[in-house]
Amino acid sequence: MSTPVFIDIAVPEQTSELRSYLKSLGAEICEENSESGILTDLKNVVEASTICWKEIQTDGEVEMLFNGIISLILMVPPEGVESLGTLFCEKIVKATTSEKRLGVRVKLLSNLFYGLPDVAPLRYTVYCAMLKLAGQGDLSLVPTDLNMVKEWISQWNISSQKTQHMLRILYDALVEGKMSEQATAVMIELLGTYTEDNASQARDDAHKCIVTCLADPSTYLMDHLLSLKPVKFLEGELIHDLLSIFVSGKLSQYQQFYKNNTDFVNSLGLSHDQNMRKMRLLTFMQMAENKKEIEFSIIQEEMQLSSEQVEEFIIDVLRTKAVRARIDQIQKKVVVISTTHRTFTKHHWQVLRSALTEWQETLKGIEGNFTSLSALQAQVPS
């Protein structure tokens, strides 16, 4: 039996056709529309639609049926569409299907999402459902750009609690999809939504954010986390102490912390070997801030490496591009060209401002010279 397509007939007739078709598949639903109105009828249809995943074998027929339901949902007045759309999302998310059909379910939610007006609050519910599903499989099926998400949040005019809930779901999906850099940005945005009054409520989120940053092999600069109110709330706890070491401590400090709190570090799911690698790099970055030439012997001592491991370590550092330098193998030293600062303090901002001001004055001087030259050329007879 092919799935009927409902075109150019009244909504009650479309609903009746859907009820009849679902009944033919074995769904427990009356073929006749109820007297309560279109909203009740469509809710009955959505409730019964779960049978389609079992009884309809081809994805094309499934999509055709559900797209028919979606087209009817989009006709429902604003006061009723919220509850109906939420029910539809719940049924799609909870549907029992093969992994192969995960993409079809995300596509259906996407059709509803983009069918709704840009400012429709229901889009929030649909987007959260899309993230939950796509997070189980292919996250590329759902837009996750943080700037776009922030624009949507503004359009939907949702509460801070809903904003935090959505960002939390987005974060979990990105972590599941191994998109750690994006996940970190989302978590920082989430933590930024808390104030001093409710920072204590974000304890788990702050904890997650710290662990994610520490575990991410490409994240080295973490001083900005310390200014977040939920992270400040963790001061005095081991997780905050560990973060502080990664922000401004040395390798030896981490080793002492690990020795004293081995079980705690392991409970976070962090790799001690990876932590050691990151702390060696961070310690070297700090050395490079203060020295333009660093001897191999000092690197060997500070990083606790064997003489054979020093050059390999330096090459590893240069691959990260956190430090630009050249290796002088003859004199057994590293010549630092530039380095990324581990912490960006008020002093660093002042230095940057001074440099930009000087650059601005230089450009003004060049512009003045060009103006004078142009004036002189204009005076020369042709």
Q: What pLDDT tens digit does each residue of the chain (382 aa) get?
A: 333 444 556 777 788 888 888 888 888 777 666 666 778 888 888 888 888 888 888 888 888 889 988 988 888 888 888 999 999 999 999 988 777 888 899 999 999 999 999 999 999 999 999 999 888 878 888 999 999 999 999 999 899 899 999 999 999 899 888 888 888 889 889 988 888 788 778 888 899 889 988 998 888 888 888 888 899 989 999 999 999 999 989 999 999 999 999 999 999 999 999 999 999 999 998 888 888 999 999 999 999 999 999 999 999 999 988 889 899 888 999 998 988 877 655 544 455 466 567 777 777 778 777 776 676 666 666 5
Contact 233, 203 (CB under 8 A): yes
CA 305 to chain centre: 36
Residue 306 included in any domain: yes
Q: How many domains does the chain have?
A: 3
Contact 308, 283 (CB under 8 A): no
Same domain, 259 and 291: no
Same domain, 17 and 106: yes
Contact 163, 150 (CB under 8 A): no
CB neighbour list of residue 211: distance below 8 Å, 6 or more residues apart: 239, 268, 269, 270
Residue 346 included in any domain: no
Same domain, 258 and 318: no
Residue 149 included in any domain: no
Residue 140 included in any domain: no
CB neighbour list of residue 365: distance below 8 Å, 6 or more residues apart: none
Same domain, 12 and 52: yes
What domain range includes position 304? 284-339
Neighbours of 189 (CB within 10 A): 18
Same domain, 222 and 310: no
* Rounded Cα–Cα distance for residues 21 and 68 (Å): 12
Same domain, 238 and 315: no
Q: Note the pLDDT of residue 52.
A: 87
Residue 130 included in any domain: no
Same domain, 1 and 80: yes
Q: Note the pLDDT of residue 140.
A: 86
Residue 194 included in any domain: no
Identity of the amino acid at 338:
S
Task: Please indicate, yes or no, whether the overall pTM of this predicted structure exceeds 0.75.
Answer: no
**Under DSSP, is residue 35 helix (H, G, I), strand (E, B) or coil?**
coil
Same domain, 42 and 84: yes
Residue 382 included in any domain: no
Contact 227, 235 (CB under 8 A): no
